[in-house]
Structure 1
Amino acid sequence: MWSIIREFMIYAIFLILLCIISFSNLTQNSFYQTDHLQKYFLNTRQPDCDYTQILTIDDYWNWLNNSFISNIRAQQWYNDDQPVNLNGYINDKTNRMIGWATMRQLRSKSQLCSDQRIISTCIEDYSLFNEEKDSFQPGWTLNRTSIEAERDYSSSILKAFQYQSSKELDTYAYVGDYGTYSGDGYVYEFRGRLSDIKSNLSLLHQLQWIDANTRAVIIQLTLYNPNVALYTSVTFLLEFLSASGVYPSTRFEPLNFYVFTSLTQLICTIIYICFIIYFLIIEIKLLIKLKLKYFYEFWSIIQIGIISCSITSIIIYIWRFKEYSRLSSLFQQTNGYVYINLQMTVYVDDVLTSLLGFCCFFGTIKFIKFIRFNKSLIIFVQTLKYVTKDIISFSFMFSIVFMAFLSLFYLLFTSSIESCSSLLSTAQMLFEITLMSFDATDFTGADPFLGPFCFSIFIIIVVFICLSMFISILNDGFHHVEETPIEDQQILFYMLKKFLNWTHLRRPNVEEIYEIQDSRMRSQYVDPIENFPDKIDQLLEAIDRIYVDQKKELLKLKRAGV
């Protein structure tokens, strides 16, 4: 019992340390920082300059000229005072821009149309195979000499029409809502005075820098809020689809580079690393002992998940600390006037957050192992074991039915319902319907007859019949386990009661006091069967002593009679 309690306490301490480290990696200020920047840049309160409502290229240029440009430079205060000591800050006068913002464009090549009777050339959606990689002169022309271009345009305009690789730009691939875009492209840098930037944007608009071949425009900038010590990577993506349509999206990623904000967090991290090393040694010994059988144990897989995620998180912590040191020294050397792209850091931070989440998940799941003697948990586990084969058979049947409805809804409503525009979104919609979360008016608007008919058939077959079968399988397993006697279901309660009595956190009741007194009396006057051989030996020794004493007395009497 005490070994189980000791193991329980050790793992409870480990789980507490894991939660402290995981939750201290996040800060509440991240939400407020993101919420502020979204309202600040998206400008949703002004319908004419609302980024989320951009539908055409002209709308995008309007947002750039009338909203975005004025926001990335600190303007005068409300009382017309100059923004003293705010050089490099954006107009909210709280966040400092690291370097400058960049606007990168990715283009697709023109190709011959499959049907040339209407039009000869077509432009497909963006992909790595049809990406435009040639350099052009302003206006996307090739017939003007470089000397004439240098005389008519500034270097920033000329550079905006020159193709640059991701290595030159220090950028990486970006995943959008409708495609994945490489780190290459044509870049314009928002550098210089505000008046120069406005004139350059007007010139780029006239030169049709964004045209029919454009497939994505990505604006990236990095901000630093010294009040809460948070870096923020800001990305604006505008996607152009070949089927027509402009789709804007944004991403605000706050980053906390400070790994250890207090001595307590540092101590907890060191103790946590010691726990991981201890668990790693134990699992290696078990692997050597059990060999391949080790991987057939459920709790072994959980422990592997905890150890692997923890070790990877520690490596990322070290990398992030080095990255923070590099950025700090670079910022100090240049006074912030250098372009720093945190795109890779954002990706790594997302991986770290996922690893910490899986660590907490696996750690909490393993905690069930130490309360496995609980009656409800035993019934739950035994029920799952009993119905495993039935659930597997049901899963195959349900998958076939679900795939049939997936094909039906996708083929019928792919052009009329947004949630059926792709197979993945259609599957998501059907799962929501299965959970009784839906809006039936979409199907009625798509087709007055087929919409309600298919929806009704799905509800009857999947929701009513299939889910009823699933519940019946679980109910049958539950009743079978409930009728089966379960041993050792009160061990956890017994251990807890003994532990509380030992620590004097709980006073025994009258029946327990009588039971303790009775056990003491029985231990004094009633011997267990294991002591029977010793008692026999004591009896024989007593008889032997009596016999010897009698012989001595007889010898004395004989001598006295003589």
Structure 2
Amino acid sequence: MYSENHMWVSIAYRPQSSNYTRCQRVSCALTLNMLSLIVNAMFLRAGGKDGDIEDDADIQVHTSFISTLIVTPPTILLIYLFKLSKPKPVDPNTTLFKPSGRSTKIRVPMVHDWLEKQHQCSVQLEKCLVQKGYPSTQGLKLPYQCTYLAWFLVFLIWFLCAFFIMLYSMEWGKKKSEEWLTTFFLSCFQSIFCLDPPQGGMRLAAPPLDMGHLKKAKRLRQKELQLNRAIRDTILNLLMCWIIYSIACNRCRNEYMDETKCYKNYNEPDEETGAFCIGWKAGPCDDKKSIYNFSSAAWNFTSAFDIWGIPIAGGYNIYGGGGYIAKLDVNMLVSQTIVNELYLNSWIDRHTRAVALEFTLNCLQANIFTYNMFLVEFPETGGAFVHYGIHPMNVYQHVGPMGLYTLACELIYIVFLVGFTVMNIVMIVQQKKAFVSDAWQVYDLVFVMLGYVAIEMYFVRHVMTSQTMSVFNADKKAFINFYHIAIWNDMLVLLQGILCFMATLRLLNVLGYHKRIGTVVRVFKKIASQLIWFSLFFTACFTIYCIFGWLLFGAHLEYYKDIYSSLRTIFLSMIGKNRFTEMDNTSPYMAKIYFLLFIGFVDYLVLTTFLALLSKTIDDVHVEAKKDTGDELVDFVLKKMKRLILVGKSVKRLVKDDESKHPAPRINNARIENPYIDALEEIRNALQCSLISDPRGK
């Protein structure tokens, strides 16, 4: 009853078959609130100034009741305009999520299909369970254009009420505003609990359902309830984990340390970018004095765009590619003078967060450039962390015989990639949606796409290298930043390694014709769905132990200093390279408990579960392989090669072996006689003799 006629309750529990939508119900409720606000404001305006208002609860209740009576008729008018308007005529084949005559611009197939199916099931179930009937509104129906009129009135009321409320509120003070809010809340209370409940409706009972349909609906409802419980429990558990995680990671606040000077951590948007005089003094600087100083440029900020800089990843933080740069000279005495000036004027002070020493070495004989970067980080809490990176690379490509061979291989790879692309396009056009059903075809498509990405990265690196070397050749004593080339070269080498791995893995598809290798492929195809869920379970367990190790040993051991280090350390522990000695020295009892739980649960229980799944699937595939009695393609190839290279074996023996493996058909234990068989056998024997006989006549 309340789900249809109560204005507030029906927002959450709207009948599915009603034309009075939830959006319209919310709009009518908001209209009621806006009208209540403006009417109460008018009553307060008539009461006098802010200081003349008296605290009288009876007056407030009376005002709120009168306001409710005033705003109820226009609200009811809007409700009936929406409720009695006929729905807009549509095509009967049109569904809620597939409007006729136009296609959806943004459509998620699985989500939309599932929502449409749920909508149809709910409508059919309601038609079967409940027969709707509203005697008070059964005979009167308004044209669907009245809905437009109702929406116009709704927006007009919202705008006018908001405008006049803003004007009234400019004249009020604190006391009058409190009176206004009190009367408004009283009006809402009276509207919800006094005016709406007397309304009522009646639904007529439908004939009893078929027991089969009822059981099916019961099973479906039980599954929905189980799914809702699972989602609710998952959300609650995640929320509880987040709360406990937040409590465990909470750091002590320093509000009580009034006399302690705190320093901020490094954040690239907040880094200092100003220009200073020597000694970090604010300008303007003395130009005459700066001429005699070798380190004047080191006190001015240099942007990352000016030196082709990219962010530098250290062990503690990530730093911007720019900064205050002190360029050392090739002459050792000049470099020592620059370093002494920087030291005497405190170039590195308490506000410094990182100092990087960068230089590039070149070996002409080996055609290798080696970019070196030694980084010292100074956290805001004090101390220092050391980090370094050494990146060898070939700047000059295709030098010498090996370079020419590499160039030839690159050209052949491009030709191969183009041909492979054409083949994939033809297969996509022919197979259409069936193309994605074959995992190897999708694998080949990804392989082609990564190949084009590698080619693009190769050309980008070539352009960057050419620009850098042109600047280097112009002034070989100047500092040239090779860090962006080193990082780009590392990414290209990584992508080339992935392509080599994928190309090697494609051999499984080629060798899949062999029964033993094909068995391995069939095992993983059959266990694929189970492996997905097992991977989720293993990832959850692995991540939990990583966080646990980080919380226990992160403050003492570098191997557990963050989540990523914990992931790497625990993964190495799984393959036998553990850090138990360091853990035991830090916390003997907790280290033993943590290590035993990890070995017992992850290494034993989880991996044993994986082996059990794999063993069961191997047994099933082995049984299926026994039923396949066909010859292997590899054996067929070996037989053909044996026939080609075998010399000296008589034709009669070959024919006898062939007839023993493939006997002639018989009827009633007798060979089928044909006058042409003998002639055909003589011709075949003569051809085989000419093919396998010794050409020297021996």
TM-score with structure 1 length normalisation? 0.66
Report matched runs for 1:182-197 at 5 Å.
182-191=320-329, 193-197=331-335
Equivalent residue in structure 1 for 2:653, among 500, 514, 524? 514
1:112-136 CA distance string (max 9 Å, x none): x953634454222211132111221
Report matched runs for 1:316-465 at 5 Å.
316-327=457-468, 329-334=470-475, 336-465=476-605
1:166-201 CA distance string (max 9 Å, x none): 123332222222221112211111126422321221
1:276-301 CA distance string (max 9 Å, x none): 11111010111122223323321123
Aligned-partner SS, 2:354: strand
Q: Mind listing any 5+ residue stretches in structure 1 that lack a counterpart? A: 1-112, 537-562
Report matched runs for 1:191-230 at 5 Å.
191=329, 193-230=331-368
Tell me, yes or no, if structure 1 residue 294 matches structure 2 residue 435: yes
Aligned-partner SS, 2:506: helix
Q: Describe the shift of the 1:464–1:313 C-alpha distance in structure 2 as closer, same or farther (beyond 3 A).
A: closer
| Distance in 2 of aligned mates of 1:219 and 1:376 | 56
CA contact (8 A) 1:253 1:346 kept: yes
Q: Mind listing any 5+ residue stretches in structure 2 that lack a counterpart? A: 1-252, 677-698
Say what the alpha-carbon RMSD is for the aligned residues.
3.4
Report matched runs for 1:537-552 at 5 Å.
none
Shift of 1:417: 3.1
CA contact (8 A) 2:435 2:441 kept: yes
| Distance in 2 of aligned mates of 1:511 and 1:376 | 34
Shift of 1:267: 3.1
Equivalent residue in structure 2 for 1:277, among 399, 415, 418? 418
Larger Rg: 2
Q: What one-letter code is carried by the residue in structure 2 that aligns with 1:277?
A: V
Partner of 1:178: 316
Q: Describe the shift of the 1:443–1:487 C-alpha distance in structure 2 as closer, same or farther (beyond 3 A).
A: same
Aligned-partner SS, 1:136: coil
Q: Describe the shift of the 1:515–1:527 C-alpha distance in structure 2 as closer, same or farther (beyond 3 A).
A: farther
Higher RCO (Cα < 8 Å, 6 or more apart)? 1
| Distance in 1 of aligned mates of 2:387 and 2:651 | 68
Partner of 1:307: 448
Name the structure where strand makes up a greater proportion of residues: 1
Shift of 1:204: 1.0
| Distance in 2 of aligned mates of 1:318 and 1:185 | 29
Partner of 1:82: none
Shift of 1:511: 11
Shift of 1:310: 2.3
Q: Describe the shift of the 1:124–1:487 C-alpha distance in structure 2 as closer, same or farther (beyond 3 A).
A: farther
| Distance in 2 of aligned mates of 1:411 and 1:247 | 21
| Distance in 1 of aligned mates of 2:486 and 2:521 | 40
Aligned-partner SS, 2:513: coil
| Distance in 2 of aligned mates of 1:325 and 1:403 | 44
- Could you tell which deviates more after superposition, 490-499 or 219-228? 490-499
Percent identical pairs in the alignment equals 21
| Distance in 1 of aligned mates of 2:540 and 2:410 | 48
| Distance in 2 of aligned mates of 1:522 and 1:139 | 96
Q: What one-letter code is carried by the residue in structure 2 that aligns with 1:350?
A: D
Q: What one-letter code is carried by the residue in structure 2 that aligns with 1:306?
A: F
- Could you tell which deviates more after superposition, 351-360 or 261-270? 261-270
Tell me, yes or no, if structure 1 residue 122 matches structure 2 residue 236: no
Q: What one-letter code is carried by the residue in structure 1 that aligns with 2:653?
A: Y
Shift of 1:330: 4.5
| Distance in 2 of aligned mates of 1:215 and 1:298 | 50
Shift of 1:353: 0.7
Q: Describe the shift of the 1:219–1:408 C-alpha distance in structure 2 as closer, same or farther (beyond 3 A).
A: closer
Partner of 2:214: none
**How many positions carry a matched residue from both structures?**
415
CA contact (8 A) 1:232 1:255 kept: yes
CA contact (8 A) 1:232 1:252 kept: yes
- Could you tell which deviates more after superposition, 131-140 or 477-486? 477-486
TM-score with structure 2 length normalisation? 0.54
CA contact (8 A) 1:156 1:188 kept: no
CA contact (8 A) 2:290 2:296 kept: no
1:475-533 CA distance string (max 9 Å, x none): 122122222225377423224314524653xx37979973445659999x9999xxx9x
| Distance in 1 of aligned mates of 2:407 and 2:580 | 54
